[in-house]
Amino acid sequence: MSTRLPDHGRLIDRSRQVKFTFNGKWMRGHPGDTLASALLANGQTLVGRSFKYHRPRGIVASGGEEPNALVNLGRGARHEPNQRATTTELYERLEATSQNHWPTLEFDVGAVNAMVARFLPAGFYYKTFIHPRAFWKHVFEPIIRKSAGLGAAPDPETMDADRYEHFYAHVDLVVAGGGVAGLLAALEAGRAGKRVLLVEQNAHWGGRAPVDGDLIDGAPAEIWVKNAVEELEKMENVTFRTRTMLAGVYDHGYVTAYERVADHTPGEDAPRHRLWRIRTAQVISATGAIERPLSFPGNDKPGVMLASAVRDYIVNYGVAPGDTVVIVTNNDDGYRTALAAHRAGLKVACVVDPRAEADGDLPHEVRSLGIRVMAGSAISKVKGLKKVVSVRVQAHRGYDGGHEEIPCDAVAMSGGWSPVVHLWSHCGGKLTWDEDQACFRPDHDRPPTDQNGAGFVTCVGAADGALNGDVTMAATATAMAGLLGSDVSAPRVDVAREAPLAPIWVMPEAAGAKKRAKMWLDFQNDVKVSDVTLAAQEGYESVEHTKRYTTLGMATDQGKLSNINGLAVLAEALDKGIPQVGTTTFRPPYTPISMGAIAGEARGEVFQPLRRTPIHDWHEEQGAYMEPVGGWRRPYCFPRDGESHEDAVNREIDATRRSLGLLDASTLGKILVKGPDAGRFMDMLYTNMMSNLKPGKCRYGLMCSENGFLMDDGVVVRLDEDTFLAHTTSGGADHVHTHMEDWLQCEWWDWKVHTVNVTEQWAQIAVVGPNARKVLEKLGPDFDLSAEALPFMAMAEGKIGGFDTRVFRISFSGELSYEIAVPASQGRAFWDALHEAGAEWNATAYGTEALHVMRAEKGFIMIGDETDGTIIPQDLGLNWAISKKKDDFLGKRGQERVHMTDPDRWKLVGLETLDGSVLPDGSYCIASGKNANGQANVQGRVTSTYYSPTLSRGIAMGLVQNGPDRMGEVVAFNKVDGSTVEAKIVSPVFYDPDGEKQNV
């Protein structure tokens, strides 16, 4: 069984202990352990179950490529599923539970799937669950949902307790990977004075070199690494980070890196993850290589691991994956594991090597230690259920019935190495097949290109296919010299001479169908050699199709171990070469990153910017019920104790119509338009004539898009000969301003007009009701507010009660009304002063719903209610606001098109239900007959509908075919319950049609 060794463990601190739990059981590890190494140290080789067959699964790898050891980590607000034990640093009181099993890890009901595995081949979902149709929803899906899936989803009632952030960096060069190649690249770039960011996904520098015993400049690699890091520390132009993974490479030198700031110190007051958003001229990918598994029967059992991982656990963590190890390898590098295991005092039962001869330096050294090397042989069976008991070894080629059973409790496998070409490929770099090393490597002639068409990613070291230390350093130096235009000398690296590997993808060679059904390619998704072969037989020739059909490489590890083996098997089945089959697409992120990191700061209070008026705090203090309007929050109504929203709205309307209402209208858009050509410009923007407006006067105007559709409306004020103030809707201010600038900058660039959006400069308050003038006079204006001096649709400027005001006599309610703008810094004080002075008239704040109801009572349209982007002013009976005198305005041509002048267009009318009820919002006016789809024909729809407290009945506006010609006609509108309600077509002006109230 796996145990902690008495020595070794360069990364752990044996002087201290760290306690943690796995499935509720207390265990101990050391600082520096990963969860995976600590589990192995505690003899826990079984760590999870596979996705489809619920097969027992153990740790396979030692890094980010791990497919099996996924755990639920933490609990409550810090619970997170699918965390890789191999990259999770151990911390005190870490809580981990295994995944994908029921009821327990040791005894799993779903494992019965494994016994019927032959009934669940590739594509079985597609084939099996087609018929009968109804079974999918009621039978198949519930069962699959119960047995499939990985970790437990976080409790929806909890909120992630941690914080996250982004960070923007601009550099000359990003180096991904802190192994010896990456360190050398960063050193050279740093010495050349470049702004460098070096990131390493693990917590340690140096990569594999210290584990594999490379000698750099005659000393152990660890010494060189230490010196390199010390030199980097002294360079101000170099930033370097561990626990930071370069996640993705995108166009234009945009790169993301994922820093796990506080994963190893949970609960600390720090951002948990930081997503670096980087702009760089060059990316150096020193991402190393990943060892491939070998496909032999039973290669998925707990205890079968990558040979490099076995070395890592021994050397880095002082952990033995087993007492007796069998190594199976098609290359010389695998022998390093035999040496490491032997040095650690483990028993190496044998090295199984399918190559006919094993003559390199490393096999010689292994033999010299008395370790048995079985050349030309293969593993044909792994015995044991939840752990390895023995392996059966036979001839790889030419099986004659002879075999040998070798007891062992760990198997270290090596199928060669695949360069991590992900970062090269993210942005379109192409690959070439390296026959000698049997791997894809970057094709230097076809790099990913930047905005200038030049390559901007350079792979160095093992990521470039330089799999041996000496080649790695020499090639990195050459690449950096080319990039930097400087002389770079490579450190000398002494490594053993390695014989070529044999590109063996399946062993034994002549394994039959039964054995191939036990050779795993994708451990997490349970894809076997037989599945890929089957897919090929069924016509799946494209590697992308085969991937989706079999789910090969579609698990959370994204096929880091399975990709090359899978496509090699596919190539064999299709009788093609591997390069002809090609790889699937490498996409960012390199390994999964947290949603929190992607969201960054945007959660909680700062999830979204919320615009506040200068009076916003007052609304909140009053307990207003707020609604979103554009980016703002506006009070919908101000409910008092025990009052329903409906009651509050009715009260607010009543108070306003009877005496005095106050509305915070600060959100209204205000755009200043000035210049000698301002009048001409305004005439083009609005459908009606604005250039003949007299200074000091106001005019309601409509703004249309080029196509003639009504886009915005509002009151235009002429402040002086050259200056207009255009009021827009609350949500439309930014868009209208952009619209203006678009026309000014792109089409009428020679017109002398300037615009400025001054929306937020002003707090605007509507003082509304029969007592509106009285309250203003009480506050003490220094100018005349009388009907004669300041008539309807006029404006004046001056002081009221010491406030700097601009007063517009405009009314959206039909009452006597002053819209008063004061500088925002005076807004709240002015609002308070109005309430204080207005108390004797029961001054009542009203919200947007009261505003809506009152404007509907007056038949005023609302952009967004009566309009939806398909409505022209003529539909709304606004012909009076469309100038016939002007040669042109935006939308004029559009409105002349055939469909716009169709007499059958639906047009605006008022609607009164016969029973006084409120029509349902969005209700359709039913016409006779059915359409081609068997639905009732319709002849109109409701656009606004309210209960009018003024009239004590429901009122509505709607668009009805030929509506204005059908006054008095009764039509039917549909209701949600399927019935209809009858309504009479009337004028849309329900209240004070002659305007006597507002014009006093």
- Part of the chain binding other proteins (CB under 8 A), chosen from 472-480, 753-761, 955-963, 964-972: 753-761
Pick 262 or 765: Cβ nearer other proteins: 262
Least separation in angstroms between CB 711 and other proteins: 23
- Residues 500, 823, 877, 920: which binds other proteins (CB under 8 A)? 823
- Residues 205, 417, 803, 818: which binds other proteins (CB under 8 A)? 803
Q: Which residue has the tokens 């470049």?
A: 194
Least separation in angstroms between CB 684 and other proteins: 18
Q: Which residue has the tokens 């370069």?
A: 246
Pick 643 or 760: Cβ nearer other proteins: 760
**Closest to 285 in 3D by CA, of 186, 382, 378, 351:** 186
Per DSSP, the residues of 609-666 read --B--TTHHHHHHTT-EEEEETTEEEEEE---TT--HHHHHHHHHHHHHHT-EEEE-T
- Per rule CB under 8 A, is residue 239 in the interface with other proteins? yes
**Closest to 765 in 3D by CA, of 824, 718, 710:** 824
Distances from the Cα of 797 to the Cα of 151, 212, 781, 881, angstroms: 67, 83, 10, 27
Sign of CA dihedral 814, 817, 823, 825: negative
- Residues 605, 621, 641, 788: which binds other proteins (CB under 8 A)? 605
- Residues 610, 914, 951, 1000: which binds other proteins (CB under 8 A)? 610
- Could you tell me how far CA 887 lies from the centroid of its own chain? 50
Q: Count of residues binding other proteins (CB under 8 A)?
A: 55
Tokens of 195: 């702004």
Least separation in angstroms between CB 752 and other proteins: 5
Which one-letter DSSP state was computed for residue 584?
P
Pick 169 or 918: Cβ nearer other proteins: 169
Residues in the chain: 1000
Least separation in angstroms between CB 719 and other proteins: 11
Residue 716 to residue 72: CA distance in whole angstroms: 62
Residue 74 to residue 853: CA distance in whole angstroms: 53
- Per rule CB under 8 A, is residue 632 in the interface with other proteins? yes
Least separation in angstroms between CB 899 and other proteins: 39
- Per rule CB under 8 A, is residue 168 in the interface with other proteins? yes
- Part of the chain binding other proteins (CB under 8 A), chosen from 126-134, 462-470, 477-485, 672-680: 672-680
Residue 366 to residue 602: CA distance in whole angstroms: 57
487 Cβ partners below 8 Å, 6+ apart? 481
- For residue 351, give the 3-state DSSP assignment: strand
628 Cβ partners below 8 Å, 6+ apart? 634
Q: Which helix (H) or strand (E) holds 970?
A: strand 970-974
**Closest to 291 in 3D by CA, of 337, 254, 248:** 337
- Residues 402, 512, 539, 609: which binds other proteins (CB under 8 A)? 609
- Residues 10, 28, 78, 166: which binds other proteins (CB under 8 A)? 166
451 Rama class: left (phi>0) / alpha (psi -120 to 50) / beta: alpha
**Closest to 150 in 3D by CA, of 597, 523, 530:** 523
Pick 277 or 645: Cβ nearer other proteins: 277
- Per rule CB under 8 A, is residue 759 in the interface with other proteins? yes
- In the chain, the N- to C-terminal Cα span, in Å, equals 96
- Residues 222, 760, 836, 992: which binds other proteins (CB under 8 A)? 760
Least separation in angstroms between CB 159 and other proteins: 15
Pick 548 or 603: Cβ nearer other proteins: 603
Which positions from 173 through 232 interact with other proteins, judged by CB under 8 A?
A: 195
- Residues 802, 869, 964, 995: which binds other proteins (CB under 8 A)? 802
Tokens of 206: 């140096």
973 close to 923: Cβ distance less than 8 angstroms = yes
Residue 658 to residue 735: CA distance in whole angstroms: 37
Pick 227 or 239: Cβ nearer other proteins: 239
- Residues 146, 170, 497, 545: which binds other proteins (CB under 8 A)? 170
Least separation in angstroms between CB 608 and other proteins: 7
Q: Which helix (H) or strand (E) holds 422?
A: helix 422-426
- Residues 375, 481, 598, 758: which binds other proteins (CB under 8 A)? 758
Site string for other proteins, 710-749 (x = CB under 8 A): -------------x--------------------------
- Per rule CB under 8 A, is residue 165 in the interface with other proteins? yes
Site string for other proteins, 267-286 (x = CB under 8 A): -xxxx--x--x-x-------
Q: Which residue has the tokens 């993301």?
A: 256
Least separation in angstroms between CB 192 and other proteins: 18
Compute, in degrees rounded to 10, the torsion defined by CA atoms 356, 361, 364, 366.
-100
- Residues 104, 825, 901, 987: which binds other proteins (CB under 8 A)? 825
- Part of the chain binding other proteins (CB under 8 A), chosen from 53-61, 610-618, 641-649, 894-902: 610-618
- Residues 357, 541, 544, 601: which binds other proteins (CB under 8 A)? 601
Which positions from 829 through 848 interact with other proteins, judged by CB under 8 A?
A: 829, 833
Least separation in angstroms between CB 843 and other proteins: 18
Pick 274 or 292: Cβ nearer other proteins: 274
- Per rule CB under 8 A, is residue 762 in the interface with other proteins? yes
- Part of the chain binding other proteins (CB under 8 A), chosen from 184-192, 515-523, 670-678, 911-919: 670-678
Least separation in angstroms between CB 196 and other proteins: 12
- Per rule CB under 8 A, is residue 672 in the interface with other proteins? yes
Pick 1 or 824: Cβ nearer other proteins: 824
- Part of the chain binding other proteins (CB under 8 A), chosen from 266-274, 368-376, 560-568, 873-881: 266-274
- Part of the chain binding other proteins (CB under 8 A), chosen from 97-105, 223-231, 600-608, 925-933: 600-608
- Per rule CB under 8 A, is residue 451 in the interface with other proteins? no
Per DSSP, the residues of 792-850 read TTBEEEEEETTEEEEEE---SSSSSEEEEEEEHHHHHHHHHHHHHHHGGGT-EE--HHH
- Residues 612, 658, 905, 984: which binds other proteins (CB under 8 A)? 612
- Beta strand residue intervals within 901-952, DSSP E: 906-913, 924-930, 936-948
Pick 112 or 602: Cβ nearer other proteins: 602
Dmax over Cα atoms in the chain, in whole Å? 117
Least separation in angstroms between CB 830 and other proteins: 8
Q: Which phi and psi angles does 214 have, rounded to 5°? A: -65, 145
- Residues 159, 454, 756, 967: which binds other proteins (CB under 8 A)? 756
Residue 649 to residue 656: CA distance in whole angstroms: 11
Pick 227 or 723: Cβ nearer other proteins: 723
- Per rule CB under 8 A, is residue 754 in the interface with other proteins? yes
90 close to 319: Cβ distance less than 8 angstroms = no
Pick 67 or 178: Cβ nearer other proteins: 178
Which positions from 865 through 924 interact with other proteins, judged by CB under 8 A?
A: none
Tokens of 619: 């609304």
What radius of gyration, in Å, describes the C-alpha atoms of the chain? 38
- For 152-251, where are the alpha helices, taking DSSP H only? 180-191, 209-212, 221-233
Residues that bind other proteins (CB under 8 A): 163, 165-170, 195, 239, 262, 268-271, 274, 277, 279, 600-602, 605-606, 608-614, 631-632, 672, 674-676, 723, 752, 754-756, 758-762, 802-803, 823-829, 833
